[in-house]
Amino acid sequence: MEQPEPRQATAEEASLLGIQKAALVTHIRRTYYSDEGQPVETADIVIPSALCEIVYEIPVSR
């Protein structure tokens, strides 16, 4: 599961990413699950909106 959310960078994030405080970022909360449905890995990813493009490719069955 991935949950992207646009927001402003915190002061710490801005410092680490080399962007201005309160610059726009996309925060992605990601969780991977085992075949049994147990969460096995989580990640919080912060991407500067002005520097990166996020693209999702979702296959659709017919």
The model's pTM is 0.82
For residue 45, what pLDDT is reported? Answer: 97
Question: What mean pLDDT do residues 48-53 have?
Answer: 92
Per-residue confidence (pLDDT) for residue 39, from 0 to 100: 95
Q: What is the DSSP string of the chain?
A: -EEEEEEEPPHHHHHHHT--TT-EEEEEEEEEE-TTS-EEEEEEEEEETTT-----------
Structural domain boundaries of the chain? 2-48
For the cut 90, the answer to whether the pLDDT of residue 62 exceeds it is no
pLDDT, tens digit, 9 for 90 and up, residues 1-47: 999 999 999 999 999 999 999 999 999 999 999 999 999 999 999 99
